[in-house]
Amino acid sequence: EAQVTQNPRYLITVTGKKLTVTCSQNMNHEYMSWYRQDPGLGLRQIYYSMNVEVTDKGDVPEGYKVSRKEKRNFPLILESPSPNQTSLYFCASSRDGYTEAFFGQGTRLTVV
Amino acid sequence: RKEVEQDPGPFNVPEGATVAFNCTYSNSASQSFFWYRQDCRKEPKLLMSVYSSGNEDGRFTAQLNRASQYISLLIRDSKLSDSATYLCVVTSTTDSWGKFQFGAGTQVVVTP
């Protein structure tokens, strides 16, 4: 079954404690991206990756890091989380960034 | 101005009625267009792609108007299960890769 898997689904953490949200896809997609979704603002792109070792900033990259060492994985790293990063996060993959995007189930992050 | 704009609604629709709503986009070079459905805080899922000639999928009809830069979605014979937020998605070009731009969503509530 084609899918994008994110973990964890829910996370409560404290300010400043580094965390990683994992994302994995089994569709051999080149393109992967991370979004955050906040009420009234829709999905905003954090980072995206066009291929292994190729990443670029999206619209709201501050406070986040990513890496793409393998085609299937695209983890999101928060080195020093702050309360304004409390949000619902989605990972997505697409063959090329033009065709259908498949989303992970989301990670609800709360930073206290 | 946001790149993709939608009326947030909610559109309250009696069961069996027809509802239609639009989405406008600002980038005239946009290449691909989609409607996604998102149930309460779950991952977005593709409802349908939108083609230049317009397309229909069961009770759903999507239209694209490139001259006026909007896409539309019409739902006929609304079902209670159609209650959701509908996201307009437009892709633009970043170098040779696409970039998804999301509207904030239009909420539809179908009532008995």
pLDDT in tens, A22-67: 999 999 999 999 999 998 888 999 999 999 999 999 999 999 999 9
With CB atoms and an 8 Å threshold, state whether B44 touches A43.
Answer: yes
- Give the percent of chain A with pLDDT over 90: 88
Residue B2 has pLDDT above 70, yes or no: yes
Query: Which residues are CB-neighbours of A7 under 8 A, at least 6 positions away?
Result: A21, A22, A107
Residue B71: how many other CB atoms lie within 10 Å: 25
Q: How many residues does chain A have?
A: 112
Interface test with A, best of B31, B38, B43 (most A CBs within 10 A): B43
Burial B32-68 (b: 16+ CB within 10 A, else e): bbbbbbbeeeebbeebbbbeeeeeeeeebbbbbeeee
With CB atoms and an 8 Å threshold, state whether B100 touches A94.
Answer: yes
CA B61 to CA B73: how far, in whole Å?
6
Which residues of A fall within a CB distance of 8 Å from B37?
none
Model confidence at B92, pLDDT cuts 50, 70, 90, reads confident
pLDDT at position B99:
80
Identify the three-state secondary structure at position A85: helix
Residue B96 has pLDDT above 70, yes or no: no
CA A63 to CA A80: how far, in whole Å?
7
pLDDT at position A42:
84
Residue B78 has pLDDT above 90, yes or no: yes
Q: Tell me whether A100 touches chain B (CB under 8 Å).
A: yes
In this structure, what DSSP letter does residue B25 have? E
Average pLDDT over residues B45-66: 94
Which residues of B fall within a CB distance of 8 Å from A97?
91, 94, 97-100
pLDDT at position B28:
86
Residue B33 has pLDDT above 90, yes or no: yes
Residue A19 has pLDDT above 90, yes or no: yes
Q: Tell me whether A26 touches chain B (CB under 8 Å).
A: no
CA B8 to CA A53: how far, in whole Å?
38
CA A77 to CA A85: how far, in whole Å?
12
Residue A97 has pLDDT above 90, yes or no: no
With CB atoms and an 8 Å threshold, state whether A96 touches B105.
Answer: no
Place of tokens 């890769």: B97
CA A105 to CA B42: how far, in whole Å?
6
Residue pair B1/B99 in contact by the 8 Å Cβ criterion: no
- Token representation of residue A55: 């990443």
pLDDT at position B95:
57
Geometric angle at alpha carbon A75, from A77 and B5, rounded to 5°? 85
CA A112 to CA A16: how far, in whole Å?
10
